[in-house]
């Protein structure tokens, strides 16, 4: 068949800082999905977008074309409203695990389509797969049934959701164009809009352990994604949250599940509870539920009840022992004082090297590998006290994991420690 446009002309337009017409954007995404536009041509276009940017209209059209490459899910048959959350990823970010059952316990259905970890950021599905028997793959019909019956589902996205994104994401990964904000935003939002949720809350991380290192970049990404959601008729809000320090006291799959269960039991680290409640309140408000306090559902056991049912519905045993590592190694404080800084990226890379993460999509992960923190910034420590415990089944990994922690923390006087602020830096709507 003859094609409507020429990929080279489209590349030249964006190379020369021009604005792509809607029809050309729709064609190039469709033609790339049909393999009529070559990888090297899409690579050139992605680089031109990275260097020259896109207008709000272009990004909206690009996102719409990605959505149109596959199916759209429909939750209108459910007896309750829907809300979802997306995090841009960080270290120790286990928030989805307590958040989904918490919001469901408050009367809003949560269709949480999640992914696996790559590099220093953990994946929600990897964490849940530490639970014996739990399975990530559900059919759309199974997902709908579980949402109606239990109110929450965390599962893998089906292959039919924005298939153009799958091809383009892999291409960006190997062509130095991952950082293009229009492409990041359209990648995330095409899947979330196609998912069909009524309200969406975005947790955009900023700091050393985040994809966005600066507040300026995080704000631009958040504003772009909120605009895309609004253009698509989805109630969308973003929170900018601090990822300079790991979230909670664990980084690693099984370790983070254990900590999430502690939160659902009414305990857990203060920062994890704070962020879980902040996101829950935004999701409930977006879905029109304003007369329920999610903090009460954490304390009275309702959220835990939903968690147990949600895990069991996907084949998991909520009472099973989580995997424990065969080997551990303690990292000790080298002096007395107050822990002033604990670098999230260093902890994330160390956990990755222990086996908690993967370098390629195909790599396996160790369910028991990771890092347990014994102190956070602001805590007093003494020389020889354990700062963290490293967990792995393969002790030959310890040397490289310890090397990743070189210079990862500062211990000083109390006068050198800044008072901890809220984990939520800003709200964008």
Catalytic residue among 116, 120, 166, 191: 191
Domain ranges of the chain: 83-158+192-313, 327-416
Reply yes or no on whether 191 is catalytic: yes
353-406 pLDDT, tens digit each: 999 987 776 778 899 999 999 999 999 999 999 999 999 999 999 999 999 999
pLDDT reading at 99 higher than 70: yes
Segment among 87-101, 115-129, 287-301, 369-383 with least mean pLDDT:
115-129
Residue 421 pLDDT: 75
Residue 118 pLDDT: 64
pTM, full prediction: 0.93
The span from the CA of 102 to the CA of 96, in Å, is 10
Instruction: Express as a percent the part of the chain with pLDDT over 90.
Output: 86
Q: Was domain 327-416 assigned CATH 3.90.1170.30? A: yes
pLDDT reading at 247 higher than 80: yes
Reply yes or no on whether 139 is catalytic: no
pLDDT reading at 119 higher than 80: no
Phi, psi (degrees; rounded to nearest 5) at 400:
-70, -35
Residue 295: CA count within 13 A, CB half-sphere: 5
The span from the CA of 356 to the CA of 369, in Å, is 5
Residue 420 pLDDT: 66
Catalytic residue among 187, 190, 208, 350: 187
Count CB neighbours of 46 within 10 A: 22
pLDDT reading at 41 higher than 90: yes
The span from the CA of 67 to the CA of 41, in Å, is 21
State the DSSP code for 415.
G
Span 246-255, mean pLDDT?
96
pLDDT reading at 116 higher than 90: no
Residue 123 pLDDT: 86
At 15 the three-state DSSP class reads helix
Distance between terminal CA atoms of the chain?
44
Structure confidence at residue 274 as a pLDDT band (50, 70, 90): very high
Q: Quick one: CA dihedral 215, 428, 57, 165, positive or negative?
A: positive
Catalytic residue among 85, 86, 235, 281: 86
Reply yes or no on whether 86 is catalytic: yes
pLDDT reading at 20 higher than 70: yes
Structure confidence at residue 114 as a pLDDT band (50, 70, 90): confident
Span 120-131, mean pLDDT?
88
Residue 17 pLDDT: 97
335-349 pLDDT, tens digit each: 999 998 999 999 999
Span 310-319, mean pLDDT?
97
Residue 56: closest CA among 225, 192, 237, 235: 225
**Alpha carbon distances (Å) from 29 to 5, 94, 187, 305:** 12, 33, 12, 44
List of residues 6+ apart from 296 with CB closer than 8 A:
none
Q: Was domain 83-158+192-313 assigned CATH 3.40.50.10490? A: no
Segment among 58-67, 293-302, 419-428 with least mean pLDDT:
419-428
Catalytic residue among 14, 116, 172, 397: 172
Catalytic residue among 165, 203, 242, 271: 165
The residues that bridge with 354 in the sheet, in sequence order, are none
Residue 239: closest CA among 250, 249, 225, 228: 225
Residue 417 pLDDT: 62
Structure confidence at residue 173 as a pLDDT band (50, 70, 90): confident
List of residues 6+ apart from 294 with CB closer than 8 A:
102, 103, 105, 106, 277, 280, 281, 284, 303
pLDDT reading at 415 higher than 90: no
Sheet holding 424-428: strands in order across? 83-87, 199-206, 235-242, 424-428
54-75 pLDDT, tens digit each: 999 999 999 999 999 999 999 9
Residue 120 pLDDT: 72
Span 303-311, mean pLDDT?
98
Q: Which is more confidently placed, 166 or 328?
A: 328
pLDDT reading at 97 higher than 70: yes
């Amino acid at each position: 068949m003859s094609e409507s446009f020429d990929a080279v002309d489209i590349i030249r337009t964006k190379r020369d800082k021009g604005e792509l017409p809607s029809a050309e954007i729709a064609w190039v995404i469709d033609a790339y999905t049909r393999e009529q536009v070559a990888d090297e041509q899409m690579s050139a276009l992605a680089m031109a977008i990275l260097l020259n940017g896109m207008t709000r209209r272009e990004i909206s059209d690009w996102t719409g074309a990605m959505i149109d490459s596959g199916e759209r899910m429909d939750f209108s048959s459910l007896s309750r409203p829907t809300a979802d959350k997306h995090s841009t990823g960080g270290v120790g970010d286990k928030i989805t695990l307590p958040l989904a059952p918490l919001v469901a316990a408050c009367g809003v259905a949560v269709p949480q389509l999640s992914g696996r970890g790559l590099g220093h950021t953990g994946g929600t599905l990897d964490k849940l797969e530490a639970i014996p028997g739990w399975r990530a793959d559900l059919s759309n019909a199974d997902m709908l049934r579980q949402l109606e019956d239990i109110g929450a589902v965390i599962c893998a996205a089906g292959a039919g959701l924005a298939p153009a994104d799958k091809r383009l994401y892999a291409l960006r990964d190997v062509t130095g164009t991952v950082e293009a904000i229009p492409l990041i935003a359209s990648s995330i939002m095409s899947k979330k809009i196609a998912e069909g949720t009524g309200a969406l809350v975005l947790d955009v991380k900023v700091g050393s352990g985040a994809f966005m290192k600066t507040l300026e970049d995080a704000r631009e990404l958040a504003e772009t994604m909120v605009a895309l959601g609004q253009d698509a008729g989805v109630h969308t809000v973003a929170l900018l949250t601090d990822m300079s320090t790991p979230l909670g006291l664990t980084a690693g799959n099984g370790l983070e599940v254990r900590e999430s269960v502690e939160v659902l039991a009414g305990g857990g680290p203060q920062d994890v509870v704070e962020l879980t409640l902040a996101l829950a309140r935004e999701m409930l408000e977006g879905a029109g539920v304003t007369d329920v306090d999610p903090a009460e559902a954490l304390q009275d056991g309702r959220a835990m009840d939903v968690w147990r049912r949600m895990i069991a519905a996907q084949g998991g045993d909520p009472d099973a022992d989580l995997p424990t590592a065969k080997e551990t190694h303690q990292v000790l404080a080298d002096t007395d004082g107050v822990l002033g800084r604990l670098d999230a990226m260093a902890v994330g890379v160390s956990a990755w090297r222990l086996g908690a993460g993967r370098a390629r999509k195909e790599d396996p992960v160790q369910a028991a590998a990771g890092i347990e923190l014994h102190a956070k910034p602001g805590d007093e420590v003494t020389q020889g006290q354990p700062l963290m415990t490293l967990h792995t089944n393969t002790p030959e990994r310890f040397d490289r994991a310890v090397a990743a922690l070189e210079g990862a923390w500062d211990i000083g006087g109390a006068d050198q420690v800044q008072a901890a602020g809220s984990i939520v830096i800003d709200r964008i709507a």
